[in-house]
A = this chain, B = another copy of it.
Amino acid sequence: MSTSNDDAPPLILICNDDGIDARGIIALASALDGLGELWVVAPEAEQSAVGHAITVRDPVRAHEYDFEVPSGPIAAYSVTGTPADCIKLAVNQILPRPPQLVVSGINQGPNTAVNVLYSGTVSAATEASILGIDAIAFSLCRWDGGDFEVAGRFARQITARVLRGGLPPGILLNVNIPAKPAAAINGMRVTRQARSRWEESFKERTDPFDRKYYWLSGTFVNLDEGDNTDLAAIEDDYVSITPIQHDLTAHQHLDGLRRWSWE
């Protein structure tokens, strides 16, 4: 869906889950410099693994924040909430007009396979999509460090493409970018979410008062042999572009379940 307004440059809202001072969001805003009117509304503090949480029991606060891209300062607010809160607050209270596009990231770490469900980065884009706004989540496939500049170039290319054409209603793009030099990346591939899971192994500890507690830890397991998955694309040094949706219905099972005897 495109909500362009011929009289004004497209408003692009930028969010993330690593926090407004993270390297990835600075790289993303810088990479998009010149594509439209950029606004940053992002969490004050890191919000990784918050999933699609929203803040309903506490108020949220927003503070103006100094944010620079190569062409100069842009409007920015830090928010005391989750990525989904940021999108809701931005669209309803902060922005001067509806955004044409929401971009989220660049996340430090992959949001491939089942990780999509835990991701605050993807959640910001999902919230935009629920509100009827085109949205893209960007992630760099490396847990620390890495070259956000190469990822930024792909983010700019994909963002420009979506600004031009718009997305089909109800979907957003989940983009994962290999942490490789530009010359080592073979191109872009449209993919599906790989089947996978985490095999958890909680680490048990005992506090000074002899009470047990647990740290969540685990090993990621790819259960999917397909060559058209997000994981396979990254493995093959392609940028992975997965269309995802917030309609969770397993439509392919509706007819089968209707034939069950439920009573």
Q: Which residues of A contact B (CB under 8 A)?
A: 46, 48-57, 59-62, 84-85, 88-89, 91-93, 114, 116-118, 123, 126, 130-132, 157-158, 161, 165, 168, 170-171, 174, 187-188, 190, 192-193, 195, 197, 200-202, 204-205, 211-216, 228, 241-251, 253-254, 256-258, 260-263
Chain B residues with Cβ under 8 A from A158's Cβ? 262
Q: A245 — which chain B residues lie within 8 A by C-beta?
A: 248-250
| Complex copy number for this chain | 2
Given contacts A170-B250, A254-B192, contact A56 B48 (CB under 8 A): yes
**Choice from B92, B202, B253 contacting A171 with Cβ under 8 Å:** B253
Q: How far is the CA of A192 from the CA of B251 in the complex (A)?
A: 7
Q: A243-B253, A250-B244 are in contact. Are A92 and B202 (CB under 8 A)?
A: yes
Q: Given contacts A51-B123, A114-B130, A253-B168, is CB(A213)–CB(B263) below 8 Å?
A: no
Check A193–B49 contact: CB distance below 8 A. no
Q: A39 to nearest B CB, angstroms?
A: 17
Q: Which of B54, B114, B157, B247 contacts A262 (CB 8 A)?
A: B157
| Inter-chain contacts of A126 with B (CB < 8 A) | 117
Contacts of A251 in B (CB 8 A): 192
Once A262-B157, A263-B188 are accepted as A-B contacts, the answer to whether A214 and B93 lie under 8 Å apart by CB is yes
Which chain B positions have C-beta within 8 A of A204?
93
Chain B residues near A131 (CB-CB < 8 A): 197
A228–chain B nearest beta-carbon distance, Å = 8
Contact A60-B193, Cβ < 8 Å, known A52-B51, A53-B53, A188-B263: no
Q: Which 7 A-B pairs have CB atoms at the shortest separation, nearest pair first? A: A51-B52, A51-B51, A244-B248, A243-B250, A192-B249, A59-B213, A245-B250
Q: How far is the CB of A229 from chain B (nearest CB, A)?
A: 9
Assembly CA distance A61 to B89 (angstroms): 33
**Which of A62, A89, A246 is packed against the most chain B CB atoms within 10 Å?**
A246
CB pair A59 B263 closer than 8 Å: no
- Among B60, B201, B214, B216, point to the contact of A213 (Cβ < 8 A): B60
